[in-house]
Structure 1
Amino acid sequence: MTRTHSLPGPWVEAAGLLLGPLLLLAGMLTRIGQDDFFPGQLAAYARQPGTMTLSYSLFAAGLVLLWPAAVALARRISATHPGWARWGVTLVVLGLFGRVFHAGVSHLAFQMVDALGLEAAQKAVAGTYGAFHVFKAVNVVIMAGWIVLAIGAYRARAFGPDVAGVARCVALALATGLPLGVLKGSTDLPSLLAVGGLVVAMAPLGVSVLRQAGPAPRWWAVALTVAAVPAAFLLGLSG
């Protein structure tokens, strides 16, 4: 009989559950104190390009790692409420696609500061901020996806039937309060609560998944993965 495994697998899912929210939080804390709207974010980059690049890079990496986290939670929900699981994970992942697109536009805007100067970059962003792009269609699901997934988690008791489990469902729903769009500082209190909610909801689940993951990956697989990260980065820098 052929043995089947869940995809992407417990080790990838645990990494997403643990690291995804923490990287988002680290990215936000790195740029805390800066004006949250785009003129202030561009000005902050002009003053501290290294700090702002690190901040936005951490945040973007956290967004990418949230997709296996959402899959892991949806799998738990699907055991008793498959409909909520399907809709929740689909909406959340679509929303993450939109946020990663926004991160790419923010990166381009920062490069405009280097190439054109701060004032010209601010003027260019202001003149094109409302431009059409296909990911405008996912703005609604960016906000709604976490609520649907949180309701599914509550109905399925995915975090447990006790008060702590219910509180983690509420914390997960707080993620809908994270501002969306290009060059958003996202360091006000509601934004910090939104990301803090993701940490509270997902990090304990990540520990649980890790404990149930079974045998650790072979040493050569771990070494190859660790070596592949800087190699891929350097290859990307080469063009």
Structure 2
Amino acid sequence: MTKQSITMSLIFAAAIILASVILKQGIVEFKTLDRSVSVKGLAEKEVMANTVIWPINYSLAGNDLTALIGELETKNQAVRAFLALHGFADDEVSVAPPNVADKLAQPYAQLEKGQMRYFVMSSITVYSHEPEKVRHALTKVTQLAKQGIAISSDRYDAKVQYIFTGLNDIKPEMIQQATEKAREVAQKFASDSNSTLGKIKSARQGQFTIADRDSNSPHIKRVRVVSSLEYYLVD
């Protein structure tokens, strides 16, 4: 081989070695950049309901529809007086038209002995931003029973609904708490793996949920949110 050929071979070999080193370094740097940890952060907060819907339903049965409607109107006045006594304003109470069922309205229908022909239901709804007034009135509802007004409570549409409408006011604080807790978990993982926690690679805010704290305290709500974050890890 000539001196020139040897020189060219050495240059070519050096170039291959250098390229290999550069490629290897690039792969190492790429893998390092791709190293990450995914974590979740939970934030919970107990809040009091600030809105309440109280359906007050009762029914009457009889064979004289005119008399039934008259009795219904009298009892409705008694219910409204009861509500006024416990601090509910007129604009917090609404009375729906009576629901009347006639058992003889269907073709070939017949009444069995002792059955009443008409069944009339009254529906009065309380909508208030003061749930405590409803909770207090519920403890005194036996006063209506003493006047012959049996309030239905076992029907699904007769359940008292306690609602929390202030979610937007607490969202920023809860998102911050969830993010901080997620970072604490990621920091612990990085420390245990002898790494340094880097920047956020991706983040996703979960859906806020509002539920009763327990079955005995529907007026107390538990708000939850879970944030999912992914952090880079740096050696």
TM category (shorter chain) comes to under 0.3
- Give the TM-score normalised by the residue count of structure 2: 0.20
- Give the TM-score normalised by the residue count of structure 1: 0.20
Structure (1/2) with the larger strand percentage: 2
Structure (1/2) with the larger helix percentage: 1
Q: Which has the higher Rg, Structure 1 or Structure 2? A: 2
